[in-house]
Amino acid sequence: MRPVAVVGIGKTAFGALPDRDLRSLAVEAGQNALENAHAKTSQVEAFYLGNFAGPSFVGQNHLAPYVAAGMGITGIPATRFEAACASSGAAFFHAVSAVGAGIYDVVLVTGVEKMTSQSTPRVAEILAGAGDLCGEVRAGATFPALFAMIARRHMYQYGTTREHLAAVAVKNHQNGAKNPLAHMRKVITMEQALNGKLIAEPLTVYDCSLVSDGAAAVLIAPLDRASEFTDKPARVLGIAQTSDNVALDEKEDITTFRAVRTSAEKAYKMEGLKPADIQFAEVHDCFTIAEIVAIEDLGFVEKGQGGPYTLAGRTCLQGERPINTSGGLKSKGHPVGATGVGQICDVVQQLRGEAGERQVQRHTIGLAQNLGGSGATSVVTILGAV
């Protein structure tokens, strides 16, 4: 594969945005990415859109040409990718693969979700469509319930505690409070996190990511053309997407995401990198337990040590390996289809040294991990400053 770089990034604010529709969010993010790369719409050779459930949330189908045309882009391949909460991670993976293979040079990848126009039970039901409708969902599982069952088993096998989970939420809110584009820009205390309203035991409202509207976009190009667009390209050092069973009860061990492990192994291998080489990461904290499992499966800590490592402050902004400096899905927000590309934008921002008061000290190699469902899709991307 020829070297590929991210040459432009663009996001909208994440949040409950009642005045904004899906297309206007996606168009704004795409235009921001093009502007960031000093690129024209006429240079875009293909459009990849990540979106989980636009047809259910807002009723609109045929989304990719609809969004592209909203930006004045027609006459190119425009395709939507759906892989639950890893929809735009998957779109990014396939876009990088196509540019890497030499099929296109300049590709725009956007992720978008418009969620807040539906009631909470309806949102839960739409999201549950990423689970096994004939088994776990029929029995009454929601995504909080599935991750609650993962948390219970992780606690049972490894001694993980409620405090460990709460430490993830407290840390991510500290970071998100400093992110101008975050959905919930407020600090929370350990006390609050431990005593939130129960959603699915042992998870409280503070263990769950937010239901948000928002969009994010990146422009990618071959590394040897990157200087046409930016003096701060971020090279894709490794990227992989892998799959696993959808139903939780079909997984041998629910305290680990097998797809995260396999996608991480493949991504590390591409440039001979190791977990120790990763200086900072954006990981998929759809629930606090998911961040703990992710940092274990990515190889940052031994299995079962994710909770103690977090509680000890090792993943905070000043820690040895900052995790979710954006605030994560927990505080930044989780417009599901936008999340994967949003993570890429956040990693690139750090690599460029443009993260303001959230800037990490070591910022030459970062990682993004995007999870679909309860682990049936994983996309791991490693990016490096050039």
Partner 1 sequence: MSDLGAGTVYTETVVWSPPEAYVNDVPYQLAIVQLESGRRITGRIAGDRAQIGDRVIFAEFRNQVPFFRKA
Amino acid symbol at 361: Q
Identify the residue whose tokens are 């499966």: 297
Smallest Cα–Cα separation from 264: which of 292, 291, 298? 298
Minimum Å distance from CB 51 to partner 1? 21
Among 4, 39, 109, 148, binds partner 1 (CB under 8 A): 148
Minimum Å distance from CB 248 to partner 1? 7
Residue 145 engages partner 1 in binding (rule: CB under 8 A): yes
Per-residue 3-state assignment (H helix, E strand, C coil) for 158-208: HCCCHHHHHHHHHHHHHHHCCCCCCCCCCCCCHHHHHCCCEEECCEEHHHE
25 SS3 class: helix
213 SS3 class: strand
Element (H, E) at 377: strand 377-385
Smallest Cα–Cα separation from 229: which of 26, 386, 338, 362? 386
Is 316 designated active site? no
Residue 103 engages partner 1 in binding (rule: CB under 8 A): no
Residue 141 engages partner 1 in binding (rule: CB under 8 A): yes
Q: Tell me, residue by residue from 193 to 222, as one string, x for binding to partner 1 by CB under 8 A and - for no binding.
A: ----xxxxxxx-------------------
Distances in whole angstroms, Cα of residue 7 to Cα of each of 4, 46, 147, 223, 235: 9, 15, 35, 9, 9
Among 114, 152, 183, 363, binds partner 1 (CB under 8 A): 152
Residue nearer to partner 1 on the CB measure, 170 or 247: 247
**154 phi and psi angles, rounded to 5 deg:** -65, -40
Is 334 designated active site? yes
d(CA 300, CA 295): 5
Residue 156 engages partner 1 in binding (rule: CB under 8 A): yes
Residue 248 engages partner 1 in binding (rule: CB under 8 A): yes
Residue nearer to partner 1 on the CB measure, 130 or 281: 130
Residue nearer to partner 1 on the CB measure, 199 or 347: 199
**Candidate ranges 142-150, 277-285, 357-365, 378-386; the one touching partner 1 (CB under 8 A):** 142-150
For the purposes of burial, counting CB atoms within 10 Å of the CB of 197, is it exposed (0-12), middle (13-18) or buried (19 or more)? exposed
Instruction: Go through 101-116 and write b for each residue having 16 or more CB atoms within 10 A of its CB, e for each that does not.
Output: eeebbbbbbbbbbbbb
Minimum Å distance from CB 216 to partner 1? 27
70 SS3 class: helix
The active-site residue out of 94, 284, 334, 363 is 334
Token pair in block for residue 359: 């800037």
Smallest Cα–Cα separation from 327: which of 311, 316, 337, 313? 316
Residue 224 engages partner 1 in binding (rule: CB under 8 A): no
Minimum Å distance from CB 221 to partner 1? 43
Among 63, 128, 168, 246, binds partner 1 (CB under 8 A): 128
Residue 67 engages partner 1 in binding (rule: CB under 8 A): no
Q: Tell me, residue by residue from 340 to 379, as one string, x for binding to partner 1 by CB under 8 A and - for no binding.
A: ----------------------------------------
Identify the residue whose tokens are 């070591």: 362
Residue 133 engages partner 1 in binding (rule: CB under 8 A): no
**Candidate ranges 105-113, 119-127, 262-270, 378-386; the one touching partner 1 (CB under 8 A):** 119-127
Question: Which residues are identified as catalytic?
Answer: 85, 334
Residues that bind partner 1 (CB under 8 A): 119-122, 124-125, 128, 135-142, 144-145, 148-150, 152-153, 156, 197-203, 247-250, 254
